[in-house]
Amino acid sequence: MKVTQTNINGLLIIEPDIFPDGRGYFFESYSQIKYQNNNVNFNFVQDNISKSKRGTIRGLHYQVGKNAQGKLCQVIIGKVLDVALDIRFNSPTFGKHFSIELSEQNHKQLWVPPGFAHGFSVLSDEVIFHYKCTAYYSKSDERSIWFNDPELNIDWKVDNYILSDKDKREKFLKEIDKDFFY
């Protein structure tokens, strides 16, 4: 397994060992001991799976307080542009984002720690997206940032996007509370 630090402190790209053969492939999507041996040591309490169609944008979501979530993200079927936005006040990269294509072909994972808003856009006809969380979902602690905030300048790589009603009513980065500090 290969772990790479991105240009934003705390965000990690994880590439599991893949074992292909004539039948297809096998890999361990998560092995606590292997992650611990690579200094990726988190206590996951919830797994989530979403299915979405091309052009869907989910995000930019995060949770605050005791329910702030770290997320280990991967794609089971299809391809997404996965985006993490640093919302840690006083961070040298506050308001900056990192994006990466996650797909069923590259098997890459993105570790998004608490203090980041997270989202993705669907680049394939369909996607099944999986993420492990370090805290349980809490509606009262749920927050979001407008995906298309001009201050963020994120290229989601989709033209005709599909949003949930909830994601159509979100705040701009400059409007969020100071829930995280670097």
Question: In this predicted model, what pLDDT tens digit does every residue of 81-92 receive, in sequence order?
Answer: 999 999 999 999
What range defines the domain where residue 85 resides? 2-175
Cα–Cα distance, 111 to 151 (Å, whole number) = 24
Residue 153 CB coordination number (10 Å): 10
Cα–Cα distance, 93 to 81 (Å, whole number) = 20
Residue at 144 is within a domain: yes
Q: Is 132 exposed, middle or buried (0-12, 13-18, 19+ CB in 10 A)?
A: buried
Residue at 65 is within a domain: yes
pLDDT above 90 (res 28): yes
**DSSP β-bridge partners for residue 116:** 86
| Catalytic residue positions, numbered | 61, 131
Report pLDDT for 104.
97
Residue at 180 is within a domain: no
CATH number for the domain including 35? Answer: 2.60.120.10
* DSSP SS3 for 98: strand
Counting the structural domains of the chain, the total is 1
Least confident of 32-41, 56-65, 72-81: 32-41
Q: What percent of the chain has pLDDT over 90?
A: 97
Residue 148 CB coordination number (10 Å): 15
Rounded to an integer, the average pLDDT of 105-121 is 98
**Closest of 59, 107, 50 to residue 83, by C-alpha:** 59
pLDDT above 90 (res 176): yes
Where residue 71 falls among pLDDT bands split at 50, 70, 90? very high
pTM over 0.85: yes
Report pLDDT for 61.
98
Residue at 182 is within a domain: no
Where residue 169 falls among pLDDT bands split at 50, 70, 90? confident
Average pLDDT in the chain: 97
